[in-house]
Amino acid sequence: MDTSGKLYHIVPVEIWSKALMEAKYRPESLKKEGFIHLSTYAQVVESAEVHFQGHESVVVVSLLEKKCKPCLKWEPGRREELFPHYYGDFPWEAVETSRMLVRNQEGKFEWE
pLDDT digits (tens, 9 = 90+) for 3-56: 579 999 999 999 999 999 998 999 999 999 999 999 999 999 999 999 999 999
Q: ∠ CA 101-102-108 to the nearest 5 degrees?
A: 100
Closest CA to 13 of 63, 60, 58: 58
The stretch 92-99 carries a mean pLDDT of 96
pLDDT of residue 2: 57
Residue pair 9/38 in contact (Cβ under 8 Å)? The answer is yes
Q: Is the pLDDT of residue 1 over 60?
A: no
Residue type, 6: K
Architecture of domain 6-111: Alpha-Beta Barrel (3.20)
DSSP class of residue 88? S
